[in-house]
């Protein structure tokens, strides 16, 4: 089969906040670099950064500090974050927000005195979330997109990466094999440095927020490539996904955390507030706590007509709600709900993956030439990502990755020779559905959604996890024997549904495996059969690798190289977060 081949200095996979910032910083470091950006959709129009509503955490206000932001991140992550990564996030967020304002051209909301407005988000000891109304991601990605369009960079839009290709001599990465979705052809891009910034996306759950093109492609490729994945049991459920009914894709869409931060109430089907009985912070508790509380109401049958709970904002004043949250008020109105003056049904929705590729603070990985940034990476957030730390993560480490790749490429005179056997195997795998009889992909996908929601979701047990793991394995075997009715490869979206489902099944198995290995509860991972957290000083993270055809899991001790459990960098300051919160 003919494969088009091209060479570039730097190949960036993904056009969200991580990928676009990487391109900008790489070209700033060396304008002569040949930079190529490959996106599964259209540049700046696909991915999850564009969907960010709430905002961007950064320590700017009087009384706030990098140390306070760091401690909120560590405590919120239940002492599992890798501390050098969390510290880098908090320090560089200050630099990056100034860059977005003064160089990228972002306009964020301001106070009457001209300072940046920062709103309250759950799980934080200070109001530090910078925003543009409730449409922050659109502002960031639109301005980044304008900057990247002005760069001398090659754009491969509607190109799907399917395999990371190692060098034949094992010296590092040689390039990436992609499918041009527009005509179905294969393209090998050889690169001296590659950025994995595809953005994960837990769309294997019944209720989920990311767009349907997010299917954990980067994580599945990294696993097959031989990289270790950490914290993969830590899947964050946002407490308030819109519940619009079974016949609309709007179900699962996030109603942002700022609603609860502003004073919104959560009510069960009987109209009773229930969070006050669950946590001292009430509705402003962290996402994992609120999601579990909602799920408990659902399991007890105290639900709304469609099976969720209500969020209510009317007591704050409808005009004020419309002013603060225009995007969400309109979105709810489009679905027939009155967010400003009535009640809206919500349900916990799979939102973000704290786990991912193990990487260093300079965004390098264990494979020379392969870098990673954003949601494809693990270690920054630990067991729970604070709202507002996600887009900060992507933009902070995306910029760092661009600088690191430029420096790396400066020392690489030649491209590595790709391993042709890996290319052949990847094409054979992608071509497999064309050799099978057509089948029911929708049925397989819906079965996966239900199995992951029921057995590998918000509340877990060993029996449920084992059932979920077995079901995922059965679905994977069924998929291998399921083909396509249409042999045309140009814009064959059913083919890409098949490939999406294959990657989702791969990573679903990893999530179940890691969740079985963690026999305690913390953050997004709650084991009803092991409800206690245990000794924080003995904290360990999960590490999953693919050895042959089998997953191997290890528990690796967390290194506390900046602050120990029981200590705080801001212990003497008023409002410091609790040092051992679980």
Q: Residues 126-157: pLDDT tens digits?
A: 999 999 988 899 999 999 999 999 999 999 99
Q: How many CA atoms lie within 13 A of 183 on its CB side?
A: 6
Q: What is the DSSP letter of 17?
A: H
SS3 402: helix
Give pLDDT, residue 572. 58
157-161, 251-255, 522-526: segment of lowest average pLDDT: 251-255
Give pLDDT, residue 135. 86
Q: What average pLDDT does the segment 179-189 reach?
A: 97
Check if 69 is active-site: no
Q: In this prediction, what percent of the chain has a pLDDT beyond 70?
A: 98
49-63, 156-170, 208-222, 306-320: segment of lowest average pLDDT: 49-63
Question: At which residue do the structure tokens 């430029």 appear?
Answer: 406
- Residue 98, pLDDT > 70, answer yes
Check if 260 is active-site: yes
Active-site residue, selected from the candidate residues 260, 489, 522, 525: 260
Rounded Cα gap, residues 318 and 341, in angstroms: 5
Question: Where residue 574 falls among pLDDT bands split at 50, 70, 90?
Answer: very low
Give pLDDT, residue 575. 47
* Residues 6+ away with beta carbon under 8 Å from 394: 16, 17, 18, 21, 49, 197, 373, 374, 375
The answer to whether 444 touches 494, Cβ cutoff 8 Å, is no
Put simply, whether the predicted model's pTM sits higher than 0.85 gets the answer yes
Q: What average pLDDT does the segment 97-110 reach?
A: 96
Give pLDDT, residue 244. 85
CA 437 to chain centre: 34
How does the average pLDDT of the chain come out, rounded? 94
Active-site residue, selected from the candidate residues 238, 292, 343, 522: 238
Q: What average pLDDT does the segment 77-103 reach?
A: 97
Rounded Cα gap, residues 536 and 534, in angstroms: 6
Rounded Cα gap, residues 380 and 87, in angstroms: 9
Question: Where residue 581 falls among pLDDT bands split at 50, 70, 90?
Answer: very low
pLDDT in tens, 410-448: 999 999 999 999 999 999 999 999 999 989 999 999 999
* Residues 6+ away with beta carbon under 8 Å from 120: 127, 129, 258, 261, 262, 284
Query: Bigger pLDDT: 253 or 221?
Result: 221
Query: Bigger pLDDT: 244 or 164?
Result: 164
């Amino acid at each position: 089969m003919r494969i088009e081949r091209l060479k570039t200095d730097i190949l960036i996979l993904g056009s969200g906040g991580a990928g676009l910032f990487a391109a900008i910083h790489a070209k700033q470091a060396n304008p002569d670099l040949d930079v190529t950006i490959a996106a599964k959709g259209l540049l700046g129009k696909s991915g999850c950064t564009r969907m960010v509503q709430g905002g961007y955490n950064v320590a700017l206000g009087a009384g706030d500090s990098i140390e306070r932001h760091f401690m909120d991140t560590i405590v919120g992550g239940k002492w599992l974050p890798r501390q050098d990564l969390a510290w880098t996030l908090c320090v560089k967020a200050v630099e990056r927000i100034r860059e977005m304002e003064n160089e990228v051209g972002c306009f964020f909301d301001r106070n009457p005195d001209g300072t940046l407005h920062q709103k309250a988000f759950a799980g934080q000891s200070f109001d530090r979330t910078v925003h543009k109304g409730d449409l922050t991601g659109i502002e960031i990605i639109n301005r980044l997109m304008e900057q990247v369009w002005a760069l001398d960079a090659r754009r491969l839009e509607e190109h799907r990466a399917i395999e990371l290709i190692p060098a034949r001599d094992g010296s590092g990465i040689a390039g990436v094999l992609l499918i041009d979705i527009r005509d179905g052809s294969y393209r090998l891009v050889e690169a001296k440095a590659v950025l994995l910034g595809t953005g994960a996306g837990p769309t294997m759950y019944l209720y989920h927020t990311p767009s349907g093109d997010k299917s954990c492609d980067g994580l599945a490729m990294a696993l097959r490539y031989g990289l270790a994945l950490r914290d993969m049991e830590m899947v964050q459920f946002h407490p308030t996904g819109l519940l619009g009914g079974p016949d609309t894709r709007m179900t699962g869409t996030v109603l942002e955390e700022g609603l609860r931060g502003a004073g919104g109430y959560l009510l069960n089907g009987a109209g009773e507030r229930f969070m006050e009985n669950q946590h001292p912070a009430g509705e402003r508790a962290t996402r994992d706590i609120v999601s579990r509380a909602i799920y408990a109401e659902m399991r007890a049958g105290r639900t709304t007509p469609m099976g969720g709970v209500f969020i209510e904002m009317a007591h704050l004043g409808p005009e004020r709600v419309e002013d603060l949250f225009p995007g969400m008020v309109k979105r709810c109105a489009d679905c027939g709900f009155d967010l400003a003056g009535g009640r809206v049904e919500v349900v916990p929705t799979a939102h973000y993956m704290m786990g991912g590729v193990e990487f260093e603070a300079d965004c390098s990985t264990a494979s020379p030439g392969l870098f990673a940034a954003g949601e494809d990476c693990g270690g920054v957030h630990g067991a729970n990502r604070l709202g507002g730390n996600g887009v900060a993560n992507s933009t902070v480490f995306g910029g760092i990755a661009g600088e690191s790749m430029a420096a790396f490429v400066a020392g690489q005179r030649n491209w590595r020779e790709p391993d042709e056997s890996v290319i052949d195997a990847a094409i054979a795998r992608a071509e497999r559905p064309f050799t099978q009889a057509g089948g029911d992909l929708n049925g397989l996908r819906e079965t996966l959604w239900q199995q992951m929601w029921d057995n590998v979701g918000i509340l877990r047990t060993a029996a449920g996890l084992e059932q979920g793991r077995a079901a995922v394995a059965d679905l994977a075997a069924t998929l291998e024997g399921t083909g396509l009715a249409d042999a045309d490869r140009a814009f064959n979206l059913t083919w890409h549904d098949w490939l999406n489902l294959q990657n989702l099944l791969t990573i679903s198995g990893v999530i179940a495996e890691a969740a079985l290995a963690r026999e305690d509860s913390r953050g997004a991972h709650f084991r009803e059969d092991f409800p206690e957290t245990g000794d924080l000083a003995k904290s360990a993270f999960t590490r999953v690798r693919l050895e042959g055809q089998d997953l191997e899991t290890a528990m690796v001790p967390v290194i506390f190289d900046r602050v120990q459990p029981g200590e705080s960098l801001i212990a003497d300051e008023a409002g410091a977060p609790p040092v051992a919160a679980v």
